[in-house]
């Protein structure tokens, strides 16, 4: 099987990946301590490798200096705490019919909401996911209690801005036809901790492979 061969090259080039922390894996290759390998590799071997939640959860926003000790993959950190403005806007968008914003939309929403407080794209994403799910639950609960006239709670929604959302088709809430709208990429944990600093932080590049460039 050729896999091993490939694997071989793989490990040799990226010793980092050879489970720095997880010794169980015996590297197929010698080890190759070569300091800088390809992709700048961000040496951080495997600390986070599967044991990310060990460290202190709290530190949060103190002020990242993690690169020194690498505090296990980012300070767990405080979770997003939306401001009234942010919630208001999100709800408006929701009422407006938005259910599963795509990457660009999320990006822009995030940019806007960032004016009212720290926020990241994932917060927006999650908010829509949760809000949608919970509205659904609520509705289901209600329907059980009423057992008829399923259209009741729609009032707020339908009143002013139901929009085309689903009025046109047969679909309800969020049809599956909206598939394939989102694209995303992973980001180095390090940086997502910044609060909203001005300019610069908008231009985040997606592949923060370089250790600390920013």
Site residues for DNA per CB under 7 A: 44, 48, 52-53, 57-58, 60, 76-82, 87, 99-100, 122-123, 126-127, 129-134, 136, 173-174, 176-183
Quick check: helix, strand or coil at residue 1?
Answer: coil
**Candidate list 32, 80, 114, 157; residue touching a second copy; CB under 8 A:** 114
167 binds, among a second copy, DNA, none (CB under 5 to 8 A by kind): a second copy
Nearest distance from C-beta of residue 149 to a second copy, angstroms? 25
Compare residues 12 and 135 and give the one whose CB is closer to DNA: 135
What's the distance, Cα to Cα, between the start and end of the chain in Å?
A: 42
109 binds a second copy (CB under 8 A): yes
140 binds a second copy (CB under 8 A): no
Compare residues 13 and 139 and give the one whose CB is closer to a second copy: 13
Task: Quote the CA–CA distance of 11 and 25 in Å, as a whole number.
Answer: 11
The stretch among 60-68, 131-139, 144-152, 158-166 that binds a second copy (CB under 8 A) is 158-166
Distances (CA, A) of 52 to 101, 142, 196, 210: 29, 40, 25, 20
Query: Which residue's structure tokens are 């992973």?
Result: 186
* Buried residues in 105-124 as b, exposed as e (16+ CB within 10 A): bbeebbeebbebebbbbebb
């Amino acid at each position: 099987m050729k896999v091993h061969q490939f694997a071989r090259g793989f490990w040799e080039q990226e010793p980092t990946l050879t489970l720095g922390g997880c010794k169980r894996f015996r590297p197929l290759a010698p080890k190759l301590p070569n300091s800088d390998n390809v992709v700048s590799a961000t040496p951080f071997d495997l600390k986070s490798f599967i044991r990310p939640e060990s460290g202190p959860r709290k530190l949060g926003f103190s002020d990242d200096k993690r690169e020194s000790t690498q505090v296990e993959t980012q300070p767990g950190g405080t979770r997003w705490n939306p401001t009234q403005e942010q919630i208001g806007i999100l709800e408006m968008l929701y009422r407006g019919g938005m259910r599963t914003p795509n990457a660009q939309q999320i990006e822009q929403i995030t940019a806007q909401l960032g004016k009212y407080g720290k926020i990241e794209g994932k917060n927006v994403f999650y908010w829509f996911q949760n809000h949608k799910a919970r509205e659904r639950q609520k509705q289901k609960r209600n329907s059980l209690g009423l057992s008829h006239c399923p259209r009741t709670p729609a009032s707020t929604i339908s009143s002013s801005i139901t929009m085309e959302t689903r009025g046109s088709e047969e679909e309800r809430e969020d049809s599956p036809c909206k598939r394939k709208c989102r694209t995303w990429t992973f980001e180095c944990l390090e940086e997502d901790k910044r609060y909203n600093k001005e300019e610069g932080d908008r231009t985040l590049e997606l592949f923060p492979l370089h250790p600390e460039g920013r």
